[in-house]
Chains A and B, each alone.
Chain A
Amino acid sequence: MLIFEPHIHMFSRVTDDYEKLSLAGVRAVLEPAFWLGQNRTSVGSFIDYFDTLIGWERHRAQQFGIHHFCTMGLNPREANDERVNQDVLDVLPRYCEKDSCVAIGEIGLDDQTKTEEKFLAAQIELARQHGLPVLVHTPHRDKKKGFQRCIDIVNEQNFPWERVLLDHGNEETIKITRDLGCYSGFSIYPHTKMDPHRMVSIVLEYGVDSFVINSAADWGVSDPMMVPRTVVKLEQAGVPRDKIEQLVWKNPIKFFGQSGRLEESMLAAPASANLRETFEGNSVLRGQDPDKM
């Protein structure tokens, strides 16, 4: 079964993870722009990171047959930082137009400050201007209130709900989002947030319509293989194969395909995997013979 992993921060993962993902059937990944674990102090650091998402990271993924897409945005945590927030917003338009950018994100709320709300609204408007959907990070603390505030802001912006993916959902948030007509994302973590067993229960109760699941793997304790692992649990629970395929392949492609930059046919074959190629002189081979890989 082919898998589209719709939320994974490969920037902070090792190359071996790409190989494991590829062997597990992951044909495409989506890497949302996010917080790097410590605050950046100038817009230049963001620019370099955005360039990595459209350049080196795509190249690295392709070496293992994986198509790499991304979202661009100012994450909610650094939206509070006056040293960078407005400057990042100013450079985003050129990155929103990149071919591999299929949404604005991760945007949303974290500490739920007024400044976060201002930049969330501004970036929803940016999405409208560039014809992109939005990937919304919902708070991990005081989740229900933050979830509701995200919803209020999307409504205030009069942004179409079918172009919104509210991520990091759980059993509590399903009840809020099901009637909105948006997509709901569930991040499957080894120890926190949603786990594979809880996800199986959700699918058995609610089905898979407008749901996507992801590993949200990053620099923390996380597991990039969580989507394939959850697929196995779903199969063991008797969920029909076509439903699982809808959850891990069709749904994310349909959502991010609203950008006009992603179609299922583009993913029919693995990404080009010429191990002789380098990117700006840098190879994943580290001097090893590509013919022996």
Chain B
Amino acid sequence: MVLDPMSTTQLRDLLGKHAELAEQLLGQLSDDRSRLPVLFPGLPRRFGKDPVGGGRRNFGDAIVDLDAFRTCDLAAAYLSASIEATSEELVDIYAHGDIEERAMLLRSLSFLPLNDATQRLLIEVLRTNVMLHLEAAMCDQNVLARAIAAGIVDLDTGNRLLLKFAFVDMPLARAFDAETFASAELSTMLQDLATEREAAGRSVWCDTWRMLGRAPCPGALARLIGGLEHGDDQVRRAAAEGLLLLNERGPGISHFAKERLGREPRPAIQDLLRQLTS
């Protein structure tokens, strides 16, 4: 797949005062591209880790959150994109990279062609629960949605990446447009994880209730209604929000919401319950 030349031009512009340094390093790579893995680990030291800033921005069909991107991430993307790094080169950097190198590489994916490397690196994220890497791949850009749309990554892999959020207890709201991934299949996976956690006496990811409301699966309604009586405020709130998200709410739900309303101590949850009774 041919790289969009606009990407490197825009990246150079975003690098601002650091563009000259990036050009110097690119010159080294033009002479000897085998230096890419030698240059990569030093990028945070050379370019710094200050956030670029500027919120969400489109680069073709890629959307990146520049508030999460750092100057070194842009430099990594610029160098990789400019030399049209091969899948083998990118995967090698990830395999032998430290935590920062891996984060930079994952953030670079929005500026690189969607291909075999995209798929292999997203699958690596499935195995690596380092928060920084999950955030880089799942929160800071829409690369997963693009990879699924392009058929590079299948839906099951997407579901398992979302399930990782539940596994490490990261809020769903942090995932880039996560609600678009809601499906009965994902809800079933979340329901199974919740059951397993409860059997072990462990806490359950609160966003489970919200996802179940968005895309119900067998058992979802019982869990949602049961959540209204949970001892944890966060779970009761998530359950009420999940029930509000249900497309079809039968009269039974209103009954349980009314029953809870008189005993609910939290005003924010009371408001949600009132909506459920109306």
Quick one: which of A50, A55, A278, A291 contacts B129, CB cutoff 8 A? Answer: A278
- Residues of B with C-beta under 8 A to A100: 98
Question: What's the interface size class on A, roughly?
Answer: 20 to 34
Q: Is the CB of A277 within 8 A of B41?
A: no
Q: Is the CB of B98 within 8 A of A94?
A: no
CB contact list, B149-199 vs A, under 8 A? 168-169
B9 at the interface (CB under 8 A from A): no
- The proximity string for B residues 14-54 relative to A, scoring 1 for CB distances below 8 Å and 0 otherwise, is 00000000000000000000000111111011000000000
CA distance A58 to B131 in the complex (A): 15
B268 at the interface (CB under 8 A from A): no
CB contact list, A246-284 vs B, under 8 A? 260-261, 274, 276-281
B127 at the interface (CB under 8 A from A): yes
A54 at the interface (CB under 8 A from B): yes
- Residues of A with C-beta under 8 A to B99: 55, 58
Please name 11 pairs of A and B residues whose Cβ atoms are closer than 8 Å in the assembled complex, sorted by A: A54-B98, A55-B98, A93-B38, A94-B96, A98-B98, A99-B44, A99-B45, A277-B130, A278-B130, A289-B200, A291-B203
Q: Is the CB of B41 within 8 A of A99?
A: yes
- Residues of B with C-beta under 8 A to A276: 129, 168-169
B202 at the interface (CB under 8 A from A): yes
- Residues of B with C-beta under 8 A to A58: 98-99
CA distance A170 to B42 in the complex (A): 37
- Residues of A with C-beta under 8 A to B40: 94, 97
CA distance A54 to B96 in the complex (A): 9
- Residues of B with C-beta under 8 A to A77: none
Q: Is the CB of A97 within 8 A of B128?
A: no
Min Cβ gap A280→B in Å is 5
CA distance A93 to B44 in the complex (A): 17
Quick one: which of A54, A260, A280 contacts B45, CB cutoff 8 A? Answer: A260
**Contact of A51 with B96 at beta-carbon distance under 8 Å, contacts A277-B131, A279-B128 already known:** yes
B100 at the interface (CB under 8 A from A): yes
Residues of chain A whose beta carbon lies under 8 Å from any beta carbon of chain B: 47, 50-51, 54-55, 58-59, 93-94, 97-100, 260-261, 274, 276-281, 289, 291
Q: Is the CB of B41 within 8 A of A94?
A: yes
- Residues of A with C-beta under 8 A to B41: 94, 97-99
Quick one: which of A94, A289, A291 contacts B37, CB cutoff 8 A? Answer: A94
CA distance A276 to B205 in the complex (A): 13
Min Cβ gap A120→B in Å is 22
Min Cβ gap B53→A in Å is 23
- Residues of B with C-beta under 8 A to A94: 37-38, 40-41, 96
Q: Is the CB of B130 within 8 A of A59?
A: yes
- Residues of A with C-beta under 8 A to B98: 54-55, 58, 98-100
CA distance A58 to B102 in the complex (A): 14
Q: Is the CB of A274 within 8 A of B96?
A: no
Min Cβ gap A69→B in Å is 12
Q: Is the CB of B130 within 8 A of A281?
A: no
Q: Is the CB of A274 within 8 A of B128?
A: no
- The proximity string for B residues 92-110 relative to A, scoring 1 for CB distances below 8 Å and 0 otherwise, is 0001101110000000000
Closest 8 CB pairs between A and B? A97-B41, A278-B129, A54-B98, A94-B37, A281-B127, A98-B41, A97-B42, A94-B38
Q: Is the CB of A279 within 8 A of B42?
A: no
CA distance A274 to B99 in the complex (A): 15
CA distance A47 to B96 in the complex (A): 8
CA distance A159 to B96 in the complex (A): 30
Min Cβ gap B251→A in Å is 38
CA distance A260 to B40 in the complex (A): 17
Quick one: which of B38, B100, B127, B201 contacts A99, CB cutoff 8 A? Answer: B100
CA distance A278 to B128 in the complex (A): 7
Min Cβ gap A21→B in Å is 21
- Residues of A with C-beta under 8 A to B168: 276-277
Q: Given contacts A99-B98, A260-B45, A289-B201, could you give 17 more A-B pairs where the C-beta distance is less than 8 Å? A: A47-B96, A51-B96, A55-B98, A55-B99, A58-B98, A94-B38, A97-B38, A97-B42, A277-B129, A278-B128, A279-B128, A280-B128, A281-B127, A281-B128, A289-B200, A291-B202, A291-B203
- Residues of A with C-beta under 8 A to B39: 97
- Residues of A with C-beta under 8 A to B96: 47, 50-51, 94
CA distance A51 to B8 in the complex (A): 31
- Residues of B with C-beta under 8 A to A289: 200-202
CA distance A240 to B42 in the complex (A): 40
